[in-house]
Each structure stands twice: as C-alpha cells, then as structure tokens.
C-alpha cells in the first residue's frame, strides 16, 4: 500500500511539473549593451519563462500598432533553473520585435530568447554603410551573447551548453556566418547575372552620399578586420528563415567550417531572396543542413509578425500575403519545426 501511495505522489508531482511548464508566461527585460570597441549601442530585448502573474496590461490601447503584439510581464522573476537560450537576428531594416510570434511560442516551450537591434541596420536607426557591412552583425550577436551570459541574474539561468541561433533574411545569413560560413564580398560571379546581382534592399535608407560597395574605405576596412572573427562555437544549432546574401557564396570551402546543424526554411514564392539562389544554395553548400520549403504562394515577408489592419494599409508590401496564404498557419508550422529541431540538437 505504501508503495502505491509513493507512486501516486510521484505521478501527481510529475503531472504538476508538466502543467507548470506548460503554464509559463513571458517575462521581458530591455537592456542596451554598448560595444565600445566598435562604438555600437546594441538595444537588446530578453524574453524568458516566468511563473509570475500578469499584474497589468502593458499594451497601450491608444498606440497604433502595425503588427500584432504579445502579452508579456516586464521585469518578471525567472525560475531558479537552467534554460536553453536562443539568439534572434532580424532582417535588414527590421528590429528586435520583428519575430515576436516566434518568441512567444519558444518562451512558452521553456527557452530564454534574446533579440537585438543591429546598429545602423534597424527600423529606427538607419545608416547606409551599416546596411552593407553584413559581417558585423555576427560580431553584434557575439558581443551580446557574452554580455547576457555574464549578466548576474539571467546568465545564471542559462544552460550554456544549449545555445541556438535564429535569423530571418539578412539575419539568416548572420547566423550562417556565426555557424562558420565565410562570405566573399568581392565575388562578382559569372555563372548567372540574376543570381549575382547585388541590388540594394528596399529598406535601404535614402542618402546623398555615393557609396561604392567595392571600394569604400570604411566597408573594405571593416571586412578585412572582422571577416575571420564571425564564427562562434558557443552556438550549437541554427534555424534560419528565408536567408539572404546567397550571391556571396559559391564554394563548399566557404561552408567547410560549419559543424553545427543548420535548418533552413523558406517559401518557394520568395521574390526578395529567391530560394534557388539563397535557401537552396545554402542547403547545397552546407553538408549538415536540412531544408523545408513552403509552396510557390509563400513569399519572403510571411515570416514577419502578423499585421494589424492598420499595418496592411500603411505597409502592404510586407504585411499582405497572397489570399491563399495564412501567415498564422505558416508561423505555426515553422515554430513546430523549430521546436523539433532544437529539441534534437540542443
């Protein structure tokens, strides 16, 4: 009888733990780290599991949001246990809140998630040259990762053996670089003009300057200084959505140092970063990669947050998908793949 009682107690405790995990709410902290060596302030948002209750509605009803937001608890407490960490890199001209649909699901699965605004290449901080110094984004992630691990409270809650990278578009390239992918900024390519045309992204800021990507001294000196410093072995697995900069990759030598697993996901209807020259190209060059492609109706910006009605009116080019496409469903399928991937590799 005593054995049965102990078994019942153990079962109740087990169920309670599972229930508690599934009841995670989302804590949130905002921190600005400054990489003094490069004079780069890096606005960082950290979301994490918490058992705290939501004590107030932190969404201003009068704010006119372009994208749907998630409910969080600012400065909530963090349970005294170890969690895996995911680092998010946004797309060109995006920001640290661009993928909160992904953040919400992963935090509730028990991950700490950190995302940064890449200096000079974010929504409200646009500096033309920073749109072209892609490799420095990886240095941003490295710097913030070190700072988070050293953070007195959050760092003690991170399982440093379980750190993953997540990126969208240029952020996808960022994490391929962190995995060990070496971009050749000088490659012109002769095989296919369509593949190797380096057009400025639509988010590129207006400027009166004439910036020559090939000869500009600041861009060239940055590349020469940081090109060999982008790999980070602390990050053990990478999940990249609609990755960009495929034109800078043409040889398996450029990806030979990638040891960690890489999962690539994109839509066959992507006209911004066509899969043939980006997602599929990376997959063919990275020996230990997996790839999942949605059908030809799924475009590039489907991986951004779901828009509000106002968002659809103000920025239709990045908020309106084809009528047959449900952004919510794409998100659900994507995050399921991400959960399975990170469970296997972290």
Task: Give 116-143 pLDDT, tens digit per residue.
Answer: 999 999 999 999 999 999 999 999 999 9
So what's the pLDDT on residue 207? 73
Least confident of 46-55, 57-66, 157-166: 57-66
Prediction pTM value: 0.90
pLDDT-derived band at 186 (thresholds 50, 70, 90) equals confident
So what's the pLDDT on residue 2? 44
5 pLDDT exceeds 90?
no
Q: Which of 161, 103, 167, 109 is nearest to 141 (CA)?
A: 167
For 3, counting Cβ atoms within 10 Å of its Cβ (0-12 exposed, 13-18 middle, 19+ buried), the class is exposed
8 pLDDT exceeds 90?
no
So what's the pLDDT on residue 20? 47
Give the sign of the dihedral formed by CA 332, CA 337, CA 338, CA 342. Answer: positive
Element (H, E) at 316: helix 316-319
Identify the CATH assignment for 2-54+63-188+201-345 out of 3.40.50.1820, 3.40.50.150, 3.40.30.10, 3.40.50.2300.
3.40.50.1820
13 pLDDT exceeds 60?
no
Length in residues, the chain: 346
More confident residue, 14 or 127: 127
In whole angstroms, what is the distance from residue 86 CA to residue 50 CA? Answer: 16
Give the sign of the dihedral formed by CA 42, CA 45, CA 48, CA 51. Answer: positive
In whole angstroms, what is the distance from residue 180 CA to residue 284 CA? Answer: 15
In whole angstroms, what is the distance from residue 268 CA to residue 102 CA? Answer: 21
In whole angstroms, what is the distance from residue 153 CA to residue 137 CA? Answer: 26
Least confident of 103-117, 195-209, 278-292, 300-314: 195-209
44 pLDDT exceeds 90?
yes
15 pLDDT exceeds 80?
no
- SS3 (DSSP) at 58: coil
Give the sign of the dihedral formed by CA 167, CA 172, CA 177, CA 180. Answer: positive
Residue range 299-303: mean pLDDT, rounded = 98
pLDDT-derived band at 211 (thresholds 50, 70, 90) equals confident
For 127, counting Cβ atoms within 10 Å of its Cβ (0-12 exposed, 13-18 middle, 19+ buried), the class is middle
More confident residue, 58 or 90: 90
pLDDT-derived band at 298 (thresholds 50, 70, 90) equals very high
- ∠ Cα 69 149 241 (to 5°): 45
So what's the pLDDT on residue 18? 44
- SS3 (DSSP) at 126: strand
In whole angstroms, what is the distance from residue 20 CA to residue 23 CA? Answer: 5
Counting residues of the chain whose pLDDT is more than 90, the rounded percentage is: 81
227 pLDDT exceeds 80?
yes
pLDDT tens digits for 57-86? 544 444 689 999 999 999 999 999 999 999
- ∠ Cα 132 267 321 (to 5°): 95
250 pLDDT exceeds 90?
yes
More confident residue, 195 or 274: 274
Could you tell me how far CA 19 lies from the centroid of its own chain?
28
Residue range 32-59: mean pLDDT, rounded = 88
So what's the pLDDT on residue 54? 75
In whole angstroms, what is the distance from residue 269 CA to residue 294 CA? Answer: 8
Residue range 101-129: mean pLDDT, rounded = 96
Counting residues of the chain whose pLDDT is more than 70, the rounded percentage is: 87
Q: What average pLDDT does the chain have?
A: 90
């Amino acid at each position: 009888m005593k054995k049965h009682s102990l078994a019942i107690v153990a079962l109740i405790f087990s169920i309670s733990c599972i229930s508690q995990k599934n009841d995670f709410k989302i804590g949130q902290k905002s921190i600005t780290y400054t990489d003094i060596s490069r004079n780069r302030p890096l606005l960082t948002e950290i979301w994490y599991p918490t058992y705290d209750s939501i004590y107030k509605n932190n969404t201003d009803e009068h704010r006119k949001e372009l994208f749907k937001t998630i409910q969080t608890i600012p400065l909530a407490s963090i349970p005294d246990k170890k969690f895996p960490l995911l680092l998010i890199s946004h797309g060109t001209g995006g920001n640290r809140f661009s993928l909160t649909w992904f953040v919400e699901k992963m935090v509730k699965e028990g991950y700490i998630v950190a995302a940064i605004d890449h200096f000079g290449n974010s929504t409200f901080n646009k500096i033309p040259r920073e749109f072209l110094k892609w490799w420095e984004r990886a240095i941003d992630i490295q710097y913030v990762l070190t700072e988070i691990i050293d953070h007195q409270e959050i760092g003690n809650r991170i399982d440093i053996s379980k750190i993953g990278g997540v990126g969208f578009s240029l952020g996808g390239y960022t994490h391929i670089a962190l995995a060990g992918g070496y971009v050749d900024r000088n490659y012109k390519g002769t095989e296919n003009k369509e593949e190797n045309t380096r057009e400025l992204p639509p988010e590129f800021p207006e400027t009166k300057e004439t910036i020559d990507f090939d000869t500009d001294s600041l861009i060239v000196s940055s590349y020469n200084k940081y090109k060999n410093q982008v790999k980070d072995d602390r990050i053990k697995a990478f999940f990249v959505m609609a990755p960009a900069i495929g034109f800078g990759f043409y040889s398996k030598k450029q990806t030979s140092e990638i040891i960690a697993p890489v999962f690539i996901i994109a839509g066959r209807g992507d006209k911004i970063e066509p899969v043939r020259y980006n997602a599929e190209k990376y997959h063919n060059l990275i020996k230990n990669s997996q790839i999942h492609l949605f059908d030809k109706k799924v475009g590039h910006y489907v991986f951004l947050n779901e828009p509000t009605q106002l968002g659809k009116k103000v920025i239709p080019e990045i908020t309106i998908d084809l009528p047959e496409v449900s952004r919510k469903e794409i998100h659900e399928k994507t995050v399921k793949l991400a959960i399975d991937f990170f469970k296997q590799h972290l």
